[in-house]
């Protein structure tokens, strides 16, 4: 049976953690969901890991549609979330709807958009028209040139308050899930306790409702230095299937992320 947004929301309500990994093709879609991964994120990180770019900014709508189709063909069980790429939704709610509809037609069950308050109208426009949306706050890689690097967010009182306010506004606008990337664990905990939709952490500590990692990172395949929040689940295992099952078990039992992976 297919995992739905309702399944994920019920798991979070019952304090059962769920698991997400990025996925870009059909073979991995099958491997990941058979190892117990609940949701597959067709992330625009494919620009980094597949295309060799240093940012996600060159990823196009056509790339995201193509990889969503690949993942969708290989998947029978998992909930599929696809990133809307840079430039495909920021202009207007209408632009976002037109492009999100193409991603949903390609097989995604939800789209993900980056940004806080500024994206609330767009998020509401999409959800009111039948397109589930995952919000993404904290380190938002599509804002890299404004953020000045891939660094911790929400680490001052002012920016922490801003992120908490953003989370509340995006929930009110209709977000179904919320990715929180690279913020102090204490802040992610506060956000998770304040809003009622599930939070999905990456570099945001153990208190989120779920965890996500870039697939290649958790398999120990890095192009540069391993980020602090990543664990290499391939180390000490004999197969990709075993590594993914070990990630699923570590997240569900609260063993990952541990102190060494959080801020």
In the complex, least distance from residue 236 CB atom to ligand KIV, rounded to whole angstroms: 24
In the complex, least distance from residue 190 CB atom to ligand KIV, rounded to whole angstroms: 20
Is 181 designated active site? yes
CB closer to ligand KIV, 122 vs 211? 211
- The DSSP H or E segment spanning 50 is none
Question: What is d(CA 187, CA 195) in angstroms, rounded to the nearest whole number?
Answer: 12
Residues 198-227 interacting with ligand KIV (rule: CB under 6 A): 202, 212, 214
CB closer to ligand KIV, 61 vs 212? 212
Residues 39-68 interacting with ligand KIV (rule: CB under 6 A): 41, 43-45
| 8 A C-beta contact, residue 107 and residue 96 | no
| 8 A C-beta contact, residue 105 and residue 133 | no
Of 181, 242, 260, 262, the catalytic one is 181
Tell me if 179 contacts ligand KIV by CB under 6 A. yes
In the complex, least distance from residue 43 CB atom to ligand KIV, rounded to whole angstroms: 2
| 8 A C-beta contact, residue 245 and residue 36 | yes
Instruction: Specify the 3-state DSSP secondary structure of 74.
Output: helix
CB closer to ligand KIV, 1 vs 219? 219
Report which of 233, 231, 230, 179 is spatially closest to residue 201, judged by C-alpha positions. Answer: 179
């Amino acid at each position: 049976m297919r995992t739905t947004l309702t399944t994920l929301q019920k798991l979070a309500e019952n304090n059962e953690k769920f698991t997400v990994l990025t996925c870009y093709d059909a073979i991995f879609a099958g491997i990941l969901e058979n190892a117990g991964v609940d949701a597959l994120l067709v992330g625009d990180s494919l620009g980094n890991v597949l295309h060799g770019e240093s940012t996600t900014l060159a990823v196009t709508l056509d790339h995201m549609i193509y990889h969503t189709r690949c993942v969708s063909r290989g998947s029978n069980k998992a909930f599929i979330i696809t990133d809307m790429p840079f430039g495909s939704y920021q202009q207007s709610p209408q632009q976002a709807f037109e492009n999100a509809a193409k991603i949903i037609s390609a097989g995604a069950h939800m789209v993900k958009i980056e940004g806080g308050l500024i994206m609330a109208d767009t998020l509401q426009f999409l959800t009111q028209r039948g397109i589930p949306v995952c919000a993404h706050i904290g380190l938002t890689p599509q804002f890299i040139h404004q953020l000045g690097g891939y660094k911790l967010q929400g680490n001052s009182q002012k920016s922490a308050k801003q992120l908490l306010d953003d989370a509340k506004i995006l929930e009110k606008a209709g977000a179904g899930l919320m990715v929180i990337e690279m913020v102090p664990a204490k802040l992610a905990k506060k956000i998770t306790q304040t809003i009622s939709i599930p939070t999905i952490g990456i570099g945001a500590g153990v208190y989120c409702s779920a965890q996500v990692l870039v697939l290649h990172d958790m398999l120990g395949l890095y192009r540069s230095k391993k980020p602090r929040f990543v664990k290499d689940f391939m180390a000490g295992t004999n197969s990709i299937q075993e590594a993914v099952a070990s990630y699923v078990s570590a997240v569900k039992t609260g063993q990952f992320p541990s102190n060494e992976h959080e801020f």
